[in-house]
Amino acid sequence: MSEVGVNTISFAGRAATSNQFKTIYSEGMGLVEETAAYLDGPGRSAAKVLPRMASVLYAAESMRLTTRLMQMASWLLLQRAVNNGEMSRDQVMSEKSKVRLDGFNVDKAAPGWNDLPEAFRDLVERSLRLQNRIALLDREIYRPAEAAVVPDNENSVKAQLDLLRTAFSGN
C-alpha cells in the first residue's frame, strides 16, 4: 500500500462513532416510533375514508414504509453494536448483507398519491431522505479499502473530475 493509503483518514469511520451517528441513530429510531404511532392511530382512521385508488396505494406504501424503516433500524442497530464493541466488524458484515438500504423508492405520480394524508406523505419523504443518508454512510464505512486508496500515479483531483464528467456525461 502506498504512503497515501496508509496516511488516509477515514472520515466515515470516524463519523460512524461520532455525534453524527448518534444524531442519525436517534432520528432513525424516532422516525420508527413516530411512524408506528401514526399508522396505529391517526393513519388507521385516515385510511378508512380514502378513495378506493388511494386506499390501495396507502396499503402498499405503508408496507414499503415500514419495510424501509425496519431495514434502516437494523442497519443502525448493527452499527451501534460494532461501535459499542458488542459485535466484530466481520460479524456485522455477515449480518449487514441481509439489510437492504435501496430499492424502496416511491412513485409520487401514482394515481391516488395526492389523495394520501399529508402526514403520511411527510413520513414517507422523511424516511426516504434518512434512507439516503444511511446508505451514503454505509457505502463510506464498508466500501473495500482498495477503493478508498488513490494509486500513486493518479492525481486525486483529476480522478474526482473524471468521475464527475462520467456521472454527468449522459452515457
Residue 70 is assigned to a structural domain of this protein = yes
What was the pLDDT predicted at 10? 47
CATH number of residue 49's parent domain? 1.10.8.930
Q: Show the domain range for 109.
A: 11-145
pLDDT recorded at residue 86 = 92
Based on the number of CB atoms within 10 Å of its own CB, is 75 exposed (0-12), middle (13-18) or buried (19 or more)? buried
State how far Cα 14 lies from the chain centre.
Answer: 18
User: 51: which DSSP letter?
Assistant: -
Which among 104, 106, 126, 103 has a CA at the least distance from the CA of 114?
106
Domain-embedded: residue 80:
yes
92 in any annotated domain: yes
**Predicted pLDDT of residue 116:** 97
> Would you say residue 120 lies in a domain?
yes
What's the longest Cα–Cα distance across the chain? 64
Compute the distance between CA of residue 109 and CA of residue 96 in angstroms, rounded to an integer. 32
Flag whether pLDDT at 3 surpasses 60: no
| Total structural domains within the chain | 1
C-alpha cell at 45: 382512521
pLDDT tens-digit series, residues 105-123: 788 889 999 999 999 999 9
pLDDT digits (tens, 9 = 90+) for 12-29: 455 556 678 899 999 999
Is residue 167 one of the residues assigned to a domain? no
In a domain, 6, yes or no: no
> 14: which residues sit within 8 A by CB, 6+ positions away?
none
The answer to whether position 157 is within a domain reads no
Average predicted confidence (pLDDT) for the chain: 82
Q: How many CB atoms lie within 10 A of CB 99?
A: 18
Total Cβ atoms within 10 A of residue 165: 10
pLDDT at residue number 83 = 86
The reply to whether 165 falls in a domain is: no
With contact defined as beta carbons under 8 Å apart, do 12 and 137 qualify? yes
User: Rounded to an integer, what distance in angstroms lies between the CA atom of residue 34 and that of residue 47?
Assistant: 17
